């Protein structure tokens, strides 16, 4: 479990150009949660997850992480951090530098988890496609076996196949009991995959809860299909927010006939 208690953060505190990035944030992340965090650029998302990963110390407030729990963070475009001559060495880097005797086994297992088999082990990470590099970078975090995995826009820049693979992997990891914190502007991903959603605005939690319920209250950021459902309901159609476009079309046709 992770608990964030009244956390605030000010960049360049005490200077004339100091900027308050977070203001009195409180939230609890239970074991096995799959939480999506979203908000406009500058809303405080990146600052919040850096505090969660203990890369920043709050200006005020407290971060409490369950005893013995490890936190892993994959930054946006994590493939930019690749540097070793082979995929295996890159993924092994973290556990090897902690002196873990099973570093190689951890790396191979992590690569398998992200869909990269043994044929990738001795390849240069710089000879891979962008999507494959992303998987190698995520595997590097997984090799550390974090209890809480935080990802900052993990699908940005990927094609549909790469996007779908990343989301599938995150779903599988969560099904296996891993806690996932996903920062994303892709509202569809949060709606379709996350159990809870946190909406940030100007460094504050504007709303939180089950994604569908949060988005009903904030249709300005909701997927177009939810906006369509809202308009149809207003026009008297018996439709539901859980319907996809095909189901909506069938419902409209049936009610018009």
What integer pLDDT is reported at residue 112 of this predicted model? Answer: 95
Residue 195 has pLDDT above 90, yes or no: yes
Q: How many residues does the chain have?
A: 257
What integer pLDDT is reported at residue 120 of this predicted model? Answer: 96
What integer pLDDT is reported at residue 98 of this predicted model? Answer: 86
Where do the domains of the chain lie? 1-70+149-161+175-211, 75-145, 223-257
Per-residue pLDDT reduced to its tens digit, 98-135: 888 999 999 999 999 999 999 999 999 999 988 899 99
The arithmetic mean of pLDDT across residues 223-243, rounded, is 91
Q: Is 257 in a helix, a strand, or coil? A: coil
Residue 31 has pLDDT above 90, yes or no: yes
The arithmetic mean of pLDDT across residues 159-175, rounded, is 93
Report the distance separating Cα 159 and Cα 214, nearest Å.
28
Q: Which strands form 19-29's sheet, in the order they lie side by side?
A: 19-29, 2-11, 60-65
- Topology classification of domain 1-70+149-161+175-211: Rossmann fold (3.40.50)
Residue 29: alpha-carbon gap to chain centroid = 13
What integer pLDDT is reported at residue 131 of this predicted model? Answer: 87
Residue 181: alpha-carbon gap to chain centroid = 5
List of residues 6+ apart from 106 with CB closer than 8 A: 92, 95, 100, 143, 144, 145
Q: Under a CB-based contact definition with an 8 Å cutoff, are residues 163 and 153 in contact? A: no
Q: Round the average pLDDT of the chain to a whole number and report it.
A: 94
Residue 14 has pLDDT above 90, yes or no: no
Per-residue pLDDT reduced to its tens digit, 145-158: 999 999 999 999 99
The arithmetic mean of pLDDT across residues 171-181, rounded, is 95
Where do we find the tokens 């599938």?
168
The arithmetic mean of pLDDT across residues 13-30, rounded, is 94
What integer pLDDT is reported at residue 179 of this predicted model? Answer: 97
Q: CA 81, 82, 83: angle at the middle one, nearest 5? A: 110
Q: β-strand 60-65 against 179-183: which pairing, if any?
A: unpaired
What integer pLDDT is reported at residue 184 of this predicted model? Answer: 96
The arithmetic mean of pLDDT across residues 159-168, rounded, is 91
249 sits in which H/E element:
helix 245-256
The arithmetic mean of pLDDT across residues 224-243, rounded, is 91
Residue 175 has pLDDT above 90, yes or no: yes
User: Buried (b) or exposed (e) across 88-113, using 16+ Cβ within 10 A?
Assistant: bbbbbbbbbeeebeebbebbbebbeb
The arithmetic mean of pLDDT across residues 176-196, rounded, is 96
What integer pLDDT is reported at residue 245 of this predicted model? Answer: 86
């Amino acid at each position: 479990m992770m608990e964030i208690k009244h956390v605030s953060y000010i960049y360049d505190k005490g200077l004339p150009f100091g900027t308050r990035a977070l203001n009195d944030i409180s939230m609890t992340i239970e074991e096995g949660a799959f939480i999506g965090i979203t908000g406009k650029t500058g809303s405080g998302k990146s600052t919040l997850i850096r505090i969660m990963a203990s890369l920043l110390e709050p200006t005020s407030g407290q971060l409490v992480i369950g005893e013995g729990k490890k936190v892993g963070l994959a930054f946006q475009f994590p493939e930019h951090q690749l540097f070793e001559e082979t995929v295996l060495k890159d993924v092994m880097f973290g556990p090897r530098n902690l002196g873990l005797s099973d570093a190689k086994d951890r790396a191979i297992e992590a690569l398998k988890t992200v869909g990269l088999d043994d044929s990738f082990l001795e390849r240069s990470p710089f000879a891979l496609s962008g999507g494959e590099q992303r998987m190698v970078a995520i595997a590097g975090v997984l090799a550390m076996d974090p209890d809480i995995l935080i990802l900052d826009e993990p699908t940005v820049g990927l094609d549909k196949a790469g996007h779908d693979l990343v989301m599938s992997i995150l779903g599988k990891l969560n099904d296996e009991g891993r806690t996932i914190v996903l920062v994303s502007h892709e509202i569809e991903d949060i709606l379709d995959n996350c159990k809870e959603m946190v909406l940030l605005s100007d460094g504050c939690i504007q709303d939180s809860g089950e994604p569908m319920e949060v988005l009903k209250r904030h249709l300005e950021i909701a997927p177009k299909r939810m906006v369509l459902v809202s308009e149809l309901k207003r026009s008297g159609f018996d439709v539901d927010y859980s319907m996809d476009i095909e189901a909506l079309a069938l419902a409209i046709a049936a009610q018009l006939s």
